């Protein structure tokens, strides 16, 4: 659908609804007719008719209608329902224009051979009138710089809700409502008629553009071939990065000498020298003489330098052999896969031990109750025997089995 909107027979279908059910299908439905290739075709895939016929089918129409019925927002529910009804009509059109491939493929009233008894002629005439109302909406105008500034300011005020990465139902409801509020404010201020989906898409494009600009600036800074100084990122790009910093995380390869500056950082605590990335020595200006006597064979131990309290750590120059790295690097706070797996196993074992302990405690209490009940039953029987002896009756014990005594009175 061109630009994501299609009008037919007084109803509107939005392409974003197909993307929505595709994400839902990826999580829980696993239907082969709704995949990423269907909703986001690329290259030669978008030239294949089978993807269109599979997506505009009765199954997809039924899923759209079910999603519309489960939607809490009445406006969104009505929009998804209209998309489902249009897809249903297009699916019926495919069935009426395609004959069955064989006897087993015949569906009475839907897919069957043309004959005098079928209603193909009547349906074709009706579809001809319906297709005359079909049109694609024109692409909306691009956002101006002023509109982008207003949108960025509104997003900054609602960043805690809009940029919340939680996927809980309550968070999703808050985000949907906040997007509608932002769209209404922009429409009132700028005289636009943008939906919340269009506003959300505009913000997504702004973030992608800012990320591309910052990445290009960073790449120019890393170049070593000389040339003009790269332009600094704009204030708008920096403001977007402040609003959504988690979308601008840059990862470095610690083992690539071209991707990281291997500078040195001095740490004055405990007179110990540590080294790490993104640090550097200050220029050496008349450094005091410091001598160390390393052993003949070097190892990975940390070099310790004993210094006078009055000596400044800024102007210290140290030279060490490059054969082995004698400087301790800062350890990253991240846990590796093995550490995470080990911690998870320890947690499971600990919880299992606690569960077994509670289970044993419950069994012990239950055993005590059973012993007490058996003692009370024996006392009851003893009292009954004494009572009968006083009355002068003879007792005959017949069977003692499993703590149950059967008594016959003679």
pLDDT, position 82:
92
Residue of 89 and 390 predicted with greater confidence:
89
pLDDT, position 218:
81
Instruction: Kindly report, residue by residue over 126-140, the tens digit of the pLDDT.
Output: 888 888 888 887 666
**Could you tell me the CA-to-CA distances from 271 to 268, 293, 318 in Å, in that order?**
5, 17, 14
Span 18-39, average pLDDT: 77
pLDDT at 119 over 50: yes
**What is d(CA 16, CA 4) in angstroms, rounded to the nearest whole number?**
7
pLDDT at 40 over 50: yes
Which three-class secondary structure string do you get for the chain? CHHHEEEECCEEEEHHHHHHHHHHHHHHHCCCCCCHHHHCCCHHHHHCHHHHHHHCCHHHHHHHHHHHHHCCCHHHHHHHHHHHHHHHHHHHHHHHHCCCCCHHHCECCCECCCCCCCCHHHHHHHHHHHHHCCEECCCCCCCCHHHHHHHHHHHHHCHHHHCCCCCCHHHHHHHHHHHHHHHHHHHHHHCCCCCHHHHHHHHHHHHHHHHHHHHHHHHHHHCCCCCCCCCCCCHHHHHHHHHCHHHHCCCCCCCCCCCCCCCCCCCCHHHECEECCCCCCCCCCCCCCCCCCCCCCCCCCCCECCCCCCCCCCCCCCCCCCCCCCCEECCCCCCCHHHHHHHHHHHHHHHHHHHHHHHHHHHHHHHHHHHHHHHHHHHHHHHHHHHHHHCCCCEEEEEEECCEEEEEEC
Closest CA to 3 of 13, 147, 45, 49: 13
Instruction: Kindly report, residue by residue over 143-192, the tens digit of the pLDDT.
Output: 888 888 888 898 899 888 888 888 788 888 888 899 889 988 888 887 77
pLDDT at 233 over 60: yes
Mean pLDDT, the chain, whole residue set: 73
Span 80-93, average pLDDT: 89
Tokens matching residue 22: 């595709």
Closest CA to 39 of 24, 20, 58, 57: 20
pLDDT at 1 over 80: no
């Amino acid at each position: 659908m061109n630009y994501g909107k299609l009008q037919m027979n007084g109803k509107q279908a939005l392409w974003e609804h197909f993307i929505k059910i595709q994400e839902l299908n990826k999580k829980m439905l696993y239907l082969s007719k709704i995949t990423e290739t269907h909703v986001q075709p690329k290259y030669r895939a978008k030239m294949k008719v089978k993807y269109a016929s599979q997506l505009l089918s009765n199954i997809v129409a039924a899923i759209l209608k079910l999603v519309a019925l489960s939607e809490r927002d009445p406006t969104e529910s009505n929009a998804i329902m209209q998309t489902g009804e249009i897809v249903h009509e297009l699916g019926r059109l495919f069935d009426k224009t395609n004959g069955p491939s064989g006897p087993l493929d015949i569906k009475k009233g839907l897919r069957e051979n043309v004959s005098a008894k079928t209603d193909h002629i009547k349906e074709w005439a009706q579809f001809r009138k319906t297709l005359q109302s079909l049109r694609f909406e024109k692409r909306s105008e691009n956002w101006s710089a002023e509109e982008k500034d207003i949108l960025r300011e509104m997003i900054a005020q609602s960043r805690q809700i809009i940029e919340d990465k939680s996927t809980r139902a309550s968070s999703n409801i808050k985000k949907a409502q906040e997007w509608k509020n932002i769209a209404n404010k922009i429409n009132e201020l700028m005289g636009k008629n943008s939906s919340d989906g269009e506003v959300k898409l505009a913000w997504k494009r702004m973030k992608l553009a800012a990320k591309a600009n910052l990445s290009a600036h960073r790449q120019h800074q890393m170049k070593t071939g000389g040339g003009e100084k790269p332009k600094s990122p704009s204030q708008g790009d920096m403001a977007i990065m402040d609003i959504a910093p988690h979308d601008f995380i840059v990862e470095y390869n610690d083992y690539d000498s071209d991707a990281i500056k291997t500078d040195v950082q001095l740490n004055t605590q405990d007179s110990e020298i540590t080294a790490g990335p993104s640090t550097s020595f200050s220029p050496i200006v008349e450094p005091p003489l410091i001598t160390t006597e390393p052993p003949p064979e070097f190892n990975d131990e940390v070099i310790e330098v004993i210094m006078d309290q009055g000596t400044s750590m800024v102007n210290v120059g140290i030279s060490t052999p490059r054969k082995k790295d004698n400087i301790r690097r800062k350890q990253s706070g991240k846990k590796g896969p093995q550490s995470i797996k080990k911690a998870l196993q320890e947690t499971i074992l600990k919880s299992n031990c606690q569960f077994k302990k509670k289970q044993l405690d419950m069994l012990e209490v239950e055993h005590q109750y059973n012993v007490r009940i058996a003692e009370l039953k024996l006392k009851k029987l003893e009292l009954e025997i004494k009572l009968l002896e006083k009355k002068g009756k003879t007792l005959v014990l017949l069977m003692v089995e499993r703590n149950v005594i059967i008594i016959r009175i003679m």
